Amino acid sequence: MSTSASLLGFILGFSLLGAATLHQIQHTRVGSAHDAVHNAAVSAADCARRIACDDPSRFGGVARGELSGARIDGIRACGMPFLRPLEGGDAAEIAVEPQFVLEGADLTVTVRVPFACTIPLAGSIACGDKREVALLQQERVIVSGCDQRD
């Protein structure tokens, strides 16, 4: 075998190994981001369960069961620490439905994050032409404690 053929084989093998490594790194980053979105949804849902029925004086007078204003800000504040480190985390949405809940009602927290796939070469392969993945997680909880008197 000639030296040039050996060199070409080495370059080709090294290139394939490099491309596979970049692809694996991109998939790992997407998986880690998915875990962060899941944790944000779980944390925000747990806070929503507690915040929905907490004392109105702690939330600027917003009534128990009404998920707006300071109450929704508090719910979002519970999930954002998980999302801020992510690429696209600043554009994350944390939504709560319904906007008004009663004792024993289901409450759903939805977290959406547009995660950018920025690893060279692997981003478009792993995440498509847009080089972005829309990460979504929903968590449901049952509201309790809203029957308290103000």
Give pLDDT tens digits for 80-90. 999 998 877 88
Give pLDDT tens digits for 28-50. 888 899 999 999 999 999 999 88
Q: Residue 2: helix, strand or coil by DSSP?
A: coil
Answer whether 0.85 is exceeded by the pTM: no
Give me the sign of the Cα torsion angle 28, 32, 33, 38: positive
* Residues 30 and 115 sit within 8 Å (Cβ to Cβ): yes
Of residues 30 and 72, more confidence is placed in: 72
Question: In the prediction, which pLDDT does 4 show?
Answer: 81
What residue spans define the domains of the chain? 3-142
The Cα-based distances of 68 to 20, 56, 57, 74, 137 in angstroms read 47, 12, 14, 10, 21
Q: Residue 21: helix, strand or coil by DSSP?
A: helix
